[in-house]
Structure 1
Amino acid sequence: MKIFLCIIAVVSLQGVVAFHVEREYAWKNITYEGIDPASYNIENSIPTAFAHDAASKKIFITVPRRNQIPFTLTELDTTKHPERSPPLSKFPGSDKLISVYQPVIDECRRLWIADVGQVEYKGDEQKYPKQKAAIIAYDLTKDNYPEIDRYEIPNNVAGNSLGFGGFAVDVTNPKEGCGNTFVYITNFEDNTLIVYDQEKKDSWKISHGSFKPEHDSTLSHNGEQYKYRVGIFGIALGDRDPEGNRPAYYIAGSSTKLFEISTKILKQKGAKFDPVNLGNRGPHSEAIALAYDPKTKVIFFAEADSRQISCWNIQKPLNHKNTDVIYASSKFIFGTDISVDSESQLWFLSNGQPPIDNLKLTFDKPHIRLMRVDTAKAIRRTKCEVKRVKP
């Protein structure tokens, strides 16, 4: 997501808050299966997001296209690779992809991506010519994951696709089929939300004041402070009502507020956009990624200024008194993605590489980490746990 996709503040923490959290994988640098390391640039191999398919035990990881990057969409079979630093494999059928920032798996086991259609560097224009951004879906239930949907986003809707942030896939009623599906993509540079109607093959963008950055945010690293300012970034969907509509929760990267809008509004082209400000999470709690767990009714945030994962239970008013921390570590540098899989496992990724000019990277210690924890265990004895009252 341009260079900012990984901006996470670097703050020294004493000790670790990580009850029940497991470090699934940790890499000093990314390697690719079947590819000679001399043929690619390890400094440019920066994973930004992932999706875990609980049914196949595979993780799909995106590496935005930079100079000498062999694959922008990869997969990791966790059953074949129990080691802590496994190589990533090429995703079948990904030869024509330009650059992918984030994958999402829906309830129909379709893997969705948004190919931004351009690279962020100079020199490979002939190899990767600029094209329209595209929304693409693959069927994970079949061998080699055939492509089952592709939609090119009109330029006037996509805007600057290098500003694509998080996105969510909304299957209206999975029990009745997968045809009625909508995709929501944030654009943190244009401060817009893109809506794709799969059934009608149509798309549009929404603009609103709540999408804009609220203030300048600060990135601290090695005693220096860096300012950034970004708009709407993370988006997550809540529980369905009987009509198949859901609350869409979203945050701007440079804001501590959380907003909610019904997908009933998002799915109506031209409908009046009137979101609800749910509250303020408190000072220094900016985040670019969030995930909702229907089992616990909790939203988890990958915070930008604290090297931590925080939580809030939607059954409580949103304020700093009702939020809590489920994970914090001085090693959690540059957290870029967080999601809950179909088995209520919370996963979160940090790639250890904040996008600072002339940043000197070292590869002697693991700095890319993928963590996992059961959501119910994660919130145990925190403010986010709401115990059921026995009748």
Structure 2
Amino acid sequence: MPPDVTRVRLSSIDRLRGAVMALMLVDHVREYFFLHQQVSDPMVLNSTSVELFFTRLSSHFCAPVFVLLTGLGAWLYGQKNGRTRRDTAVFLAQRGLILIALELTVVNFAWSLSLSPPKLYLQVIWAIGLSMLALSALLWLPRPVQAALAVLIMAGHNLLDPLQFTPQEAGFIPWAILHDRSLIELSPSLTLRTSYPVLPWIGIMLAGYLMGPLYRPGVAAAWRQRWLVWGGVGALLTFAVLRLVNRYGDHPWVAGATLLESVRSFLNLTKYPPSLQFILLTLGLGWLALAGLERLKAGAWLDRIGAVPLFFYLGHLYLLQALYQWMAWVFGTHHAGRFGLDAVWQVWALAAGVLWLMAGPCRALAQLKQRSQARWLSYF
């Protein structure tokens, strides 16, 4: 396949990854600068403004699409230069352990500015790391078994919602890590918050890995895009049917006094852990976006962000922390002991500024990765 065709085929992946990371940035600006109007998941509609609701809703696409593309990236990694399945398994295990270590140290320090915080948050980097470890084992299974397992996890994990363990029971800690967002008290001075129960994310990453053959060299772009569109439309139709039936896959929605209230309730889905309906909506739109971005030339600058995701993730956290500390020092803390912005549009404006600041370093590192064969650069 000619190099330019290969580049178009793969740049759509980086571009979508960059797009969802830009939306993630908006949500993290909200976490730093709009915490005085914190939201839960699902959101409490009568206390969440319309603009804040849709700002938070936009970020729901970030983690599922990113984890899906991580699985796809694992398949692509295994296709290069005659790499074996063992090579891919080792790479995934090593990368997964590194991400877990980063979550427990560098990432938590970015949020808390403490080397020994009383509470450690096990968030998306942790979930991606554990999912990589799981995928390093699951890739040895026959492909039909992988497909069945991915569907079973994503579609069936809500059946496990009634299963609960108390902190005194032996199953509490593994279940808190896998499926039930909980607090794990390791000692009087250290608590773990399993913000991202990992089981559904394993299913999503496995689904991304199974997408890999769509991106084989020689596969016609039109054929690949057709399958992505069919998958996206099928997922969205399944979401709509389940949501209208209102029986399984998430908490029920209710009709409101106005059309807008009904729409908000309809779209108010559970992220922790991601429900079946949450997965269908986000991945359905993700598959459609992946097909569309392969055709469109607009937004090419997002490729550079998507090519260095770990660098962008760590860099933007520390940049936001620095900006928050500076603004709190200059303007004072006037929202219950915190500095905060006064309007949601300011969250988007600040996110746009931070994105602009991060774009240059991301572009430079992405270009260095293209020129250099240094192994350590692949981790960024």
More strand per residue? 1
- The higher-RCO structure (CA 8 Å, 6+ apart) is 2
TM-score clears 0.5: no
Structure whose CA Rg is larger: 2
Return the TM-score normalized by structure 1.
0.24
Return the TM-score normalized by structure 2.
0.25
